[in-house]
């Protein structure tokens, strides 16, 4: 059996007419969902009356401390995300389970960040009374939109090679900025307390 | 074959978010007093008042009376804020320089308030339609009339207690709608104008020390 070295590689079955990718919808749907999520969160935070208080975990002095530690946990897993992404793309030497590590560290980071965001939006709302606060509010809403887009893009096949790293990098950058404007600020202001 | 993993991740996040939100909505009020370890005058962090709020209030007028009301005295010299919950009231009167008073009392079913503080301070008022409190205060030998409007967070009364360089620090703030603040910091009983707090977090720096001012509720 001879192999034609010039034949197109077939990593997936050739697309018949029924299986053709739905064109711009691949990008449009994630983009629209991302916009809807980000704007929706922002509007909720702006419109509803922030309660100032919310469910608190036992063993912590304040919800601020709980959130700062949860956010720091999310940030730690985001760093794992960055490293494991380089491994998946072969830019760093990594174990075979780098892809699984990337998936699961991402899930943990996301799930840990959700309660923080819920508290932010429920108890504090979308605020603009300071530079730090304004950026944190805007980026916080943007993050969940960007993350939704990333998740939805993962489901599409045959994306341009640069797209996922770009969106992933964006998600990581935004999370970093959110962490800098909240948890780091909290620890610098109140000390590293629980 | 499309991968279901990312969708499941999003779904899990959504469900977790909704779960946390329902947890907040059902227990948020009850745990409201728990993060605040410091005791304000008349604010006992006992679970008793929270039970009163968690169960439906017997009288509708009292239920409507929960919340915070802020405003200024008619002579514009001082700020006044009253926080109501479960038929109890806490008020802070502050001119931003040297006159201040913490008062506590009750709300009657007819919407009248009677609060008293240290050094014979008194505050009487009437709730009007759950949106406004009109009343008078006697603080530091002065007599003041005031009208307070129902305010939304982060407007309200904030208080901080601490020990800085051996001195006992007590700070009180009224954050007015629009973000204006009136506050006094007392160092070992000596009052002076207070630095500005961050109403979102209660963060404030007093004499180089980072403190947290907590919202005051009865």
Please, which pLDDT band fits residue B2 given cuts at 50, 70 and 90?
Answer: low
ipTM of this complex prediction, to 2 decimal places: 0.75
With beta carbons less than 8 A apart as the criterion, state whether A159 and A26 touch: yes
Which domains, ranges and CATH numbers included, belong to chain B?
49-151 (2.40.160.90), 156-215 (no CATH)
Helix or strand or coil: residue A67? helix
Q: Nearest 5 degrees, angle CA A65-CA A125-CA A168? A: 75
Which positions in chain A have a beta carbon within 8 angstroms of at least one beta carbon in chain B?
49-56, 61-64, 103, 106-107, 110-111, 114-115, 117-119, 122-124, 127, 129-130, 133, 148, 150-152, 154-155, 186, 189-191
> Distance between CA atoms of A157 and A187, rounded to whole angstroms?
42
Cβ-Cβ pairs closer than 8 A, A with B, add up to 98
> Distance between CA atoms of B169 and B162, rounded to whole angstroms?
5
Tokens of residue A122, six digits: 């429920």
**Nearest to B186, CA basis, from B115, B101, B127, B111:** B101
Contact B153 A119 (CB under 8 A): no
Could you tell me which residues come within 8 angstroms of residue A160 by beta carbon, excluding any fewer than 6 positions away? none
Contact B24 A64 (CB under 8 A): no
DSSP state of B194: P
pLDDT at A57: 61
> Distance between CA atoms of B93 and B135, rounded to whole angstroms?
12
Lowest mean pLDDT among A45-49, A54-58, A126-130, B169-173: A54-58
> Which residues of A are less than 8 Å from B23 in CB distance?
55
> Distance between CA atoms of B91 and B50, rounded to whole angstroms?
19
Tokens of residue B20, six digits: 């946390």
Helix or strand or coil: residue B109? coil
What is the percent of chain A where pLDDT is above 90?
35
To the nearest whole angstrom, how far is the Cα of B53 from the nearest Cα of chain A?
14
pLDDT at A1: 45
To the nearest whole angstrom, how far is the Cα of B111 from the nearest Cα of chain A?
24
Contact B34 A151 (CB under 8 A): no
Helix or strand or coil: residue A92? coil
> Distance between CA atoms of A118 and A111, rounded to whole angstroms?
11
Q: Spell out the alpha helix ranges (H) of B3-96.
A: 5-27, 47-54, 60-64
> Distance between CA atoms of B151 and A110, rounded to whole angstroms?
35
> Which residues of B are less than 8 Å from A54 in CB distance?
24, 28, 31
Q: Which of B3, B7, B200 sits opposite A124 (nearest CB)?
A: B200
pLDDT at A22: 58
Region of residue A122 (left: phi > 0; alpha: psi -120 to 50; beta: else) = alpha
Asked if pLDDT for residue B155 goes beyond 80, the answer is yes
What's chain B's length in residues?
Answer: 218
Contact A130 B153 (CB under 8 A): no
To the nearest whole angstrom, how far is the Cα of A189 from the nearest Cα of chain B?
6
Asked if pLDDT for residue A126 goes beyond 80, the answer is yes
Tokens of residue B116, six digits: 């008293």
């Amino acid at each position: 059996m001879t192999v034609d070295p010039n034949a197109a590689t077939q990593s997936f079955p050739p697309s018949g007419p029924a299986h053709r990718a739905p064109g711009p919808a691949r990008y449009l749907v994630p983009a629209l969902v991302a916009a809807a999520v980000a704007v929706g969160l922002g509007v909720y935070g702006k419109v509803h009356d922030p309660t100032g208080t919310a469910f608190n975990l036992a063993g912590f002095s304040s919800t601020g401390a709980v959130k700062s530690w949860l956010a720091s946990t999310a940030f730690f897993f985001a760093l794992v995300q960055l490293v494991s992404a380089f491994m998946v793309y072969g830019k760093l030497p990594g174990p075979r389970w780098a892809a699984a590590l990337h998936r699961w560290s991402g899930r943990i980071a996301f799930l840990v960040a959700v309660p923080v965001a819920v508290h932010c939006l429920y108890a504090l709302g979308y605020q603009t009374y300071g530079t730090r606060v304004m950026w944190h509010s805007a980026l916080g809403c943007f993050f969940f939109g960007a993350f939704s887009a990333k998740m939805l893009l993962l489901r599409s096949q045959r994306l341009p090679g640069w797209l996922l790293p770009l969106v992933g990098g964006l998600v990581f950058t935004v999370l970093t900025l959110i962490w800098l404007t909240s948890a780091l600020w909290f620890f610098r202001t109140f000390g590293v307390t629980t | 074959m499309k991968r279901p993993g990312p969708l499941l991740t999003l779904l899990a996040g959504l469900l977790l978010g909704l779960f946390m939100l329902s947890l907040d909505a059902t227990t948020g009020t009850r745990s409201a007093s728990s993060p605040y370890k410091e005791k304000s005058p008349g604010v006992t962090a006992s679970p008793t008042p929270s039970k009163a709020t968690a169960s439906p209030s017997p009288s509708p007028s009292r239920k409507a009376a929960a919340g915070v009301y802020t405003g200024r005295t008619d002579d514009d010299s001082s700020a006044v804020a009253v926080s109501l919950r479960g038929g109890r009231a806490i008020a802070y009167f502050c001119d931003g320089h040297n006159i201040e008073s913490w008062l506590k009392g009750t709300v009657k079913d007819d919407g009248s308030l009677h609060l008293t503080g240290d050094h014979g301070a008194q505050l009487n008022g009437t709730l009007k339609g759950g949106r406004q409190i009109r009343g008078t205060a006697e603080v530091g030998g002065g007599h003041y009339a005031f009208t307070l409007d129902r305010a939304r967070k982060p407007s309200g009364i904030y208080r901080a207690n601490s020990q800085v360089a051996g001195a006992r620090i007590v700070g009180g703030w009224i954050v007015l709608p629009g973000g204006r603040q009136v506050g006094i910091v007392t160092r070992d009983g000596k009052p002076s104008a207070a630095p500005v707090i961050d109403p979102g977090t209660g963060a404030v720096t007093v004499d180089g020390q980072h403190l947290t001012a907590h919202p005051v509720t009865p």
